[in-house]
Amino acid sequence: FKPTWTVEPDTFRPTYAGALSYFIGHECSDMDAVSTDNGFAFGYTALKPGPDRDDKKNWLGWEKAHFHSMKFLEGGAFCHAGVAQGKLTLTSRWRDANGDPVIGTVDKTFTYMPNPDPDDIPLLVVHHSSSEVPQVPP
């Protein structure tokens, strides 16, 4: 699992506990949590660093998540796996100084493998998420 916003040495999360820590934060898990995780699900990343972000009562979560521009790769030379790539736009419950929701978009990649149980859903085996780097004018 590769979360969007992580820091070394915990950039990648090969364990369930590491992935859970990213979503719910180190304070909410009794597992082997990562101390720098605040809980992506709480929406703290919508806030600019500073007093508002530091005050957990402002961590309101997300009111909307929208996948778009998705591409699906299946069959061919990689017929043993399916890949979905695209964008996820998140709308925060937090409002900026103008009363507008904070909106952010990240790039997503998911890889699925067939489940050994043919009656069950495919297994998510890879998740990668990243922020786009803004273009710098020439």
The pLDDT tens digits for 8-66 are 888 888 888 888 888 888 777 777 788 777 777 777 777 777 777 777 777 788 889 99
Cis upstream peptide for 9 (omega within 30°)? yes
Q: Phi and psi dihedrals of 73, rounded to 5?
A: -115, 125
Euclidean distance between CA atoms 11 and 13, whole angstroms: 7
Give me the pLDDT at residue 70, please.
95
Supply the pTM of this predicted model.
Answer: 0.76
pLDDT tens for each residue of 52-93: 777 777 778 888 999 999 999 887 765 788 899 999 998 988
- Is residue 98 very low, low, confident or very high in pLDDT (cuts 50, 70, 90)? very high
Euclidean distance between CA atoms 114 and 138, whole angstroms: 46
